């Protein structure tokens, strides 16, 4: 039984197996797989350089100032009360750079305004924003490291190199690794916690249990969704393991006896880590249940944050998909996003990997279970505002796509080797061509009007204000009618005086349209006055600025609609 357990979740390591084809290809493959850590380090460094290069292109997105403000509160005031709906880890990381640069939290009621003031109070706004985003980059390194460790454990050096290459080429991963938000950290630690669970299942003990506890705590401190993601993925893997391996009752009881104490110790360590992140605070938790409303607990901000996150989940959030708006989302939301925001070459490699898994390698369960558990659970999520909320799924998908690539390049037939090489090259080229617009990336399935499919953080998160300012300067605009998605100092981004947009009538002269403000908020109308036709729906698109802004010019004599 122990021997079968050690093999569970693994495929035959083929790192040293040369591909069919020219001798030089075999020698190159052997050279690469002989030094996997060096090769993957180079891949991560190249991706990091690409991420950092986006800092000077894009202004802050809508959520970045809010996260910076909450991180500054933790550093400056030693409290965490402004907005506990998100845990503090990533926020602290994004605020360390600005704090050391002199940023301080102003007295204001809005975390969005406070964060904007912290950014604009610097003489060099771009430098302070870059310092904030640099705080998130280590989470990208950790995510890549966990993908490497998981893939190498599953299939050897060759699989690890291919998985890291694919993971670090994904536009969605590169996008959110380059923003001061709370999405890259949970990606890293959700993948890491699942990997640690696999290690613990294979070698249970206090050391592996401690690793699982630490990574689980870091995942929870990154985003509250980890409270579901980690147990759902690990629990699903445990169920599949029991169903496939079918251990006897005696063997199962033996496992439980070996697991109880290490897991108990891991839970204690995880709880202490969470409490420490909230500075060992103690007080009333403000539970909604009347009998518990004033119950004093460790880290009350943690429990209040969970309550606020649940209230947000129950209420839903304005969302947009395929021309439709909804407050509570769609079960197929993330399936559509993965189909249009993942490079086609990656999807083809994924299809090959799944096909080979179904036909020949039924033991390769963990990445399949990890991916399926996240997708099924997220289908019930009522907040559909971006693929970023499901970003950890790319950990499992990268392993499966790498498995497909590995089966091709190590194949005995040259056409398979050529197919694998072409798809890998295509995936890399698509990633390079997406630069720097990783956030708004859409694959070849979408055409030239992505706003017909999605909006918000998958297309327009307010990131193109700098580009809009430069374009308006080029055309000599003296004013612009515009409803921005973000809170910003327009002049710092090169915009002329801004006048508010009217939902029905464009102004004479220059009009800028934020796709998210248009598609999600209906230029400020939301669900009020559904009979009103918005003017951008009635006129032909004139010019796209960056990927997320539309720009129009109407002569003063006769603006459409008579406005």
Q: Are residues 125 and 245 in the same domain?
A: no
Domain boundary among 134, 149, 183: 134
Decide: 140 and 188 in contact? Cβ < 8 Å: yes
**Cα R_g (the chain), whole angstroms:** 25
Please report the pLDDT score of residue 359 as a whole number: 79
Average pLDDT, the chain: 90
Q: Are residues 153 and 72 in the same domain?
A: no
Average pLDDT over residues 430-450: 93
In sequence order, which residues have a C-beta less than 8 Å from that of residue 173 and are 6 or more positions away? 140, 143, 167, 187, 391, 394
Q: Are residues 429 and 495 in the same domain?
A: no
Q: Are residues 188 and 263 in the same domain?
A: yes
Residue 19 pLDDT class (50, 70, 90 cuts)? low
Domain boundary among 81, 107, 134: 134
Domain assignment of residue 60, given as a range: 54-134
Beta bridge partners of 325: 320
Please report the pLDDT score of residue 32 as a whole number: 78
SS3 state of residue 321: strand
Decide: 180 and 67 in contact? Cβ < 8 Å: yes
Q: Is residue 115 part of a domain?
A: yes
Is residue 332 over pLDDT 90?
A: yes
Q: Are residues 411 and 505 in the same domain?
A: no
Average pLDDT over residues 105-121: 91
Q: Is residue 278 part of a domain?
A: yes
Please report the pLDDT score of residue 109 as a whole number: 75
Q: Are residues 159 and 178 in the same domain?
A: yes
pLDDT in tens, 390-411: 999 999 999 999 999 998 887 6
Percent helix, strand and coil across the chain, each to the nearest 5: 60, 5, 35
Dist. CA 389–CA 327, nearest whole Å: 16
Average pLDDT over residues 39-66: 97
Roughly what angle, to the nearest 10 degrees, separates helices 137-155 and 36-53?
A: 150
Dist. CA 389–CA 381, nearest whole Å: 10
SS3 state of residue 362: coil
Is residue 34 over pLDDT 70?
A: yes
In sequence order, which residues have a C-beta less than 8 Å from that of residue 112 and are 6 or more positions away? 62, 65, 66, 69, 487
Is residue 15 over pLDDT 70?
A: no
In sequence order, which residues have a C-beta less than 8 Å from that of residue 530 and are 6 or more positions away? none
Is residue 414 over pLDDT 70?
A: yes
Decide: 293 and 268 in contact? Cβ < 8 Å: no
In sequence order, which residues have a C-beta less than 8 Å from that of residue 25 and are 6 or more positions away? 18, 19, 417
DSSP 77: I
Q: Are residues 127 and 173 in the same domain?
A: no
Please report the pLDDT score of residue 6 as a whole number: 44
Of 200, 181, 98, 108, the closest CA to residue 139 belongs to: 181
Work out the widest C-alpha separation in the chain, in whole angstroms: 86
Of 461, 443, 466, 463, the closest CA to residue 516 belongs to: 461
Strands 509-514 and 480-482: parallel
pLDDT in tens, 199-256: 999 899 999 999 999 999 999 999 999 999 999 999 999 898 888 877 878 877 877 8
What percentage of the chain carries pLDDT values higher than 70? Answer: 92
With vertex at residue 469, the alpha carbon angle to CA 467 and CA 471, rounded to the nearest 5 degrees, is 70
Q: Is residue 393 part of a domain?
A: yes
Average pLDDT over residues 459-485: 95
Is residue 17 over pLDDT 80?
A: no
Is residue 191 over pLDDT 90?
A: yes
Is residue 3 over pLDDT 70?
A: no
Please report the pLDDT score of residue 108 as a whole number: 77
Please report the pLDDT score of residue 279 as a whole number: 95
Is residue 2 over pLDDT 60?
A: no
Structural domain count, the chain: 3
DSSP 332: T
Average pLDDT over residues 482-489: 93
Name residue, tokens 């809508």.
62
Domain boundary among 385, 413, 434: 434
Q: How far, in Å, are 21, 147, 415, 447 from residue 423 at the CA level? A: 17, 20, 12, 21
Average pLDDT over residues 81-85: 93
Dist. CA 413–CA 416, nearest whole Å: 6
Q: How far, in Å, are 105, 203, 209, 268, 278 from residue 206 at the CA level? A: 42, 10, 5, 12, 26
pLDDT in tens, 248-293: 788 778 778 888 999 999 999 999 999 999 999 998 877 666 666 6
Q: Is residue 446 part of a domain?
A: no
Q: Are residues 34 and 97 in the same domain?
A: no
Average pLDDT over residues 139-163: 95
With vertex at residue 111, the alpha carbon angle to CA 107 and CA 112, rounded to the nearest 5 degrees, is 115
Please report the pLDDT score of residue 349 as a whole number: 97
Dist. CA 535–CA 540, nearest whole Å: 10
In sequence order, which residues have a C-beta less than 8 Å from that of residue 107 and are 6 or more positions away? none
Q: Are residues 233 and 363 in the same domain?
A: yes
């Amino acid at each position: 039984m122990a021997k079968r357990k050690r093999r569970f979740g693994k495929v035959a390591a083929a790192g040293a197996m040369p591909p069919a084809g020219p001798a030089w290809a075999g020698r190159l493959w052997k050279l690469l797989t002989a030094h996997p850590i060096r090769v993957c380090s180079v891949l991560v460094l190249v991706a990091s350089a690409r991420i950092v290069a986006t800092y000077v292109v894009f202004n802050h997105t809508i959520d970045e100032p809010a996260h910076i403000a909450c991180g500054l509160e933790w550093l400056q005031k030693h409290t965490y009360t402004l907005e506990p709906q998100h845990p503090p880890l990533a926020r602290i990381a994004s605020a360390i750079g600005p704090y050391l640069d002199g940023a301080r939290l102003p007295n204001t009621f809005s975390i969005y305004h406070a964060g904007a003031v912290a950014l604009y109070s610097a003489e060099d706004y771009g430098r302070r924003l870059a310092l904030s985003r640099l705080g998130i980059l280590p989470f990208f390194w950790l995510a890549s490291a966990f993908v490497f460790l998981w893939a190498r454990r599953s299939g050897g050096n060759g699989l690890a190199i291919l998985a890291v290459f694919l993971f670090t080429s994904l536009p969605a991963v590169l996008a959110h690794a380059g923003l001061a938000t709370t999405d890259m950290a949970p990606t890293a630690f959700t993948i890491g916690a699942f990997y640690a669970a696999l290690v613990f299942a294979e070698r249970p003990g206090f050391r592996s249990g401690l690793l699982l506890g630490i990574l689980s705590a870091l995942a929870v401190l990154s985003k509250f969704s980890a409270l579901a993601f980690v147990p759902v993925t690990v629990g699903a893997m445990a169920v599949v393991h029991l169903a496939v391996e079918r251990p006897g009752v005696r063997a199962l009881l033996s496992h439980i006896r070996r697991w109880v104490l290490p897991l108990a110790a891991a839970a204690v360590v995880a709880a202490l880590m969470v409490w420490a992140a909230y500075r060992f605070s103690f007080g009333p938790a403000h539970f909604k249940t009347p009998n518990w409303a004033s119950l004093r607990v460790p880290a009350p901000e943690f429990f209040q944050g969970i309550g606020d996150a649940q209230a947000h989940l129950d209420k839903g959030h304005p969302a947009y998909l395929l021309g439709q708006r909804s407050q509570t989302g769609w079960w197929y939301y993330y399936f559509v996003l993965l189909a249009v925001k993942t490079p086609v070459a990656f999807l083809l490699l994924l299809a090959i990997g799944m096909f080979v898994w179904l036909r020949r390698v039924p033991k390769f369960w963990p990445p399949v279970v990890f991916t399926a558990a996240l997708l099924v659970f997220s289908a019930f999520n009522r907040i559909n505002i971006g693929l970023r909320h499901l970003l950890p799924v790319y950990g499992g998908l990268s392993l499966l796509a790498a498995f497909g690539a590995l089966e091709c390049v190590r194949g005995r037939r040259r056409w398979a080797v050529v197919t694998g090489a072409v798809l890998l090259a295509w995936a890399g080229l698509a990633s390079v061509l997406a630069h720097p617009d990783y956030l708004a990336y859409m694959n070849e399935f979408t055409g030239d009007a992505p706003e017909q499919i999605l909006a918000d953080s998958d297309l327009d998160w307010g990131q193109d204000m700098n580009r809009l300012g430069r374009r308006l300067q080029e055309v000599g605009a003296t004013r612009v009618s515009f409803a921005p998605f973000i809170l910003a100092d327009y002049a710092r981004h090169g915009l002329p005086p801004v006048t508010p947009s009217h939902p029905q009538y464009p102004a004479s002269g220059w009009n800028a349209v934020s796709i998210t403000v248009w598609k999600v908020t209906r230029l400020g109308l939301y669900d009020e006055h559904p009979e009103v036709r918005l003017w951008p729906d009635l006129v032909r698109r004139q010019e796209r600025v960056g990927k997320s802004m539309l720009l129009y010019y109407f002569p003063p004599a006769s603006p459409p609609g008579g406005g």
